[in-house]
Amino acid sequence: MTAGAPLSGFKVLDLSSVLMGPYCTRLLADLGAEVIKLEDPAAGDGTRHLAEGRRPGMSGTFVQLHRGKQGIALDLKDPEGREACLRLAAGADVFVHSIRPGPLERLGLGYEAVAGRSPDIVYCNLLGFGRGGRYFNQPAYDDTVQALSGMAMLQTEYQGEPGYVPSAIADKVAGLSAALAIVAALLQRREDGRGQQIDVPMFETVASFLLLEHQSGTVFDPPLGPPRYERLLARDRRPFRTRDGLLAAMVYNDKHWSRFCVIAGKPSLRDDPRFVSFAARSRNAVAYYALLSALFAERSTADWEATLHAAEIPCARVNSLADLFDDPHLRDVGFFSEADAAGDGAVRLARPAVRLRGMAGLEDKPAAWRAPLLGEDSRAVLAAAGYSVAEIDALAARGVLRDDSPRAAPSSRHQQHPEGVPAHG
C-alpha cells in the first residue's frame, strides 16, 4: 500500500488461487491496495510450482502474479484457522475467493458469515458458472471454459479442428472483470456506505466477451445471419508472408484501402465491387485476405514496412515473446523494471501498463515487486489483526498457522531494464 496511489487505504483479503483471482488482486495491488494472500499451510498456491524459480515454491509465474502482496498461511478447516480468517476479514474492505460455493459454505466462510463480521465488506465470488444454472456448483478451468464458450471451436477456422488459445485468456478476462467490479462496488460503497456480494462467473464472462463482435446477425430475432464476424474468421487472417519474412498489416478502413491499392501498384482495385467499401470487404473477407496475401508476397518485409508506415497504414513486425524483452518501444516507455529481491536475486517484471496519478510512487517501492514466501507474513498479519504473540505461537505450534521467517528487506534498486488446487482457474 502506498499513500497517494489510487487504491491506497483499501485492504483486500485474497483466498483465491491459480490465475483468475490472483490476477484480479494483483491488479488491485498494482493500484495501491494492501493485498493479503491467504494460502493453505501445507502446499500453498499451485502456481508456486508452475515454472522455474531460484527457490522452491517461488516460480516465475507465482512471483509475477503475487508481487506486492503479503502472505499468510492458515488451515481453514481448523476452527481456529477459520476464526483467524474471519478476524482478518473484519479488518478488510474486500474479500476475494475462488472456492466452489458448496465447499465454501462448509468452511463457514460464505457471504453471510463474513458480512456478519464486516457488514460493509465487498465480497467477491469468483465462480465457474452463475447462480441458477445447472452448472453452478461444477469446477471450471480455463480449458473447459474455452470449450464451453465457443472459443475452442472458433479455432477450427484456422487449424481444421477445435483448439485452445495458448494463453489463459478465460482466467484473465474474468480476473480483469472482477477487478473492475470490485472498484465499482467500492465507489458505490463510498456513496451509500453499504457493502455487497459480487458474482463473477467465468463462463458467462467469456461468453459475453466473445459474443461482443461475433453475435452479429443473431442480435436480432429472428436472426439475420449466423453468429460470426467473417473478417476475424478468414483463414488468411494471419501475419502476411513477404518475399523474405513476415509482417502484420491492417488495411482496414476505406482510406487505408485506397492508399494501399496505389502503393501496391494496383490502383484499379479501388473500384473492385468486392472491396470498394468496408462493408464489401467484410462480406468478402476470404477473397480479400487471399488478395492481400498474394500482394504482400511480392516485396520484402523492410520495403513493405517503410511504405506502409509512410502511408499511415498500420503494420508491425511479428515478435516472439522473447523479442519483447528487446523491443525498442517497450524500452522507451520503461515497461520492464529490475529489482533485487532477497533470496531470489534480480527479478525483471513488467510494470503496470495503465498509468494513473500516484502509481509512480508505488512502482518505486521495493516491496511492490516482490512476492511472499509461503506463510512469510503470517505473524505480522495476525499481529496487525490484534493477535498476541502467545496466541500466534499457539496457532503455529498446532500447525494451524505456517510461520516462516520474517521477510528480509529487499534492495531499493529499481530501474528500467537496460534492454528495455483451486475450484476455479
pLDDT category of residue 418 using cuts at 50, 70 and 90: very low
Residue ranges of E strands in 153-254:
196-201, 240-241, 246-249
Model pTM score: 0.90
In this model, does residue 185 exceed pLDDT 70?
Answer: yes
- pLDDT of 342: 65
Amino acid at 145: V
Higher per-residue confidence, 43 vs 415: 43
131: left (phi over 0), alpha (psi -120 to 50) or beta: beta
Residue ranges of E strands in 85-224:
94-97, 122-127, 196-201
pLDDT category of residue 414 using cuts at 50, 70 and 90: very low
- Residue 313 backbone dihedrals phi, psi, to 5 degrees: -105, 125
Q: What percent of the chain clears pLDDT 90, i.e. is strictly above it?
A: 80
In this model, does residue 407 exceed pLDDT 70?
Answer: no
Sheet holding 345-350, edge to edge: 345-350, 336-341, 414-416
- Residue 315 backbone dihedrals phi, psi, to 5 degrees: -150, 160
CA-derived radius of gyration, the chain: 25
Burial tier of 190 (Cβ tally within 10 Å: 0-12, 13-18, 19+): exposed
Please state whether the peptide bond connecting residue 222 to the residue before it is cis, i.e. omega within 30 degrees of 0: yes
Q: How far apart are CA 186 and CA 10, in angstroms?
A: 9
Higher per-residue confidence, 367 vs 144: 144
- pLDDT of 2: 58
pLDDT category of residue 358 using cuts at 50, 70 and 90: confident
The H or E element that residue 402 is part of is strand 401-402
- pLDDT of 158: 77
Q: Which CATH class is domain 11-208+356-416?
A: alpha beta
CATH for the stretch 240-316: 3.30.1540.10
- 228, 234 contact by CB (below 8 A): no
- pLDDT of 419: 33
pLDDT category of residue 89 using cuts at 50, 70 and 90: very high
Over residues 344-373, mean pLDDT: 80
Least confident interval from 36-40, 207-211, 212-216, 366-370: 366-370
In this model, does residue 282 exceed pLDDT 80?
Answer: yes
Over residues 180-190, mean pLDDT: 98
pLDDT category of residue 345 using cuts at 50, 70 and 90: confident
The H or E element that residue 255 is part of is helix 254-263
- Residue 316 backbone dihedrals phi, psi, to 5 degrees: -160, 150
Sheet holding 246-249, edge to edge: 240-241, 246-249, 315-316
Tell me the three cell numbers of residue 174: 474474468
pLDDT category of residue 232 using cuts at 50, 70 and 90: confident
CA nearest neighbour of 121 among 65, 218, 189, 58 = 189
In this model, does residue 302 exceed pLDDT 50?
Answer: yes
Q: Compute the half-sphere exposure of residue 27: CA atoms within 13 Å on the CB side of its CA.
A: 20
The single residue listed with the C-alpha cell 466477451 is: 209
In this model, does residue 409 exceed pLDDT 60?
Answer: no
Contacts of 274 (CB under 8 A, 6+ apart): 280, 281, 284, 287, 288
The H or E element that residue 337 is part of is strand 336-341
Q: How far apart are CA 415 and CA 336, in angstroms?
A: 8
In this model, does residue 415 exceed pLDDT 80?
Answer: no
- pLDDT of 71: 97
- Segments making up each domain of the chain, as ranges: 11-208+356-416, 240-316
CA nearest neighbour of 124 among 54, 52, 184, 197 = 197
In this model, does residue 367 exceed pLDDT 80?
Answer: no
pLDDT in tens, 377-388: 999 999 999 999
In this model, does residue 340 exceed pLDDT 80?
Answer: no
Over residues 388-405, mean pLDDT: 93
- Which DSSP category does 415 fall into? E
- pLDDT of 183: 98
260: left (phi over 0), alpha (psi -120 to 50) or beta: alpha
Over residues 296-304, mean pLDDT: 97
Over residues 358-385, mean pLDDT: 84
Over residues 21-26, mean pLDDT: 98
Over residues 38-60, mean pLDDT: 93
Over residues 120-133, mean pLDDT: 97
- pLDDT of 416: 37
Round the average pLDDT of the chain to a whole number and report it. Answer: 91
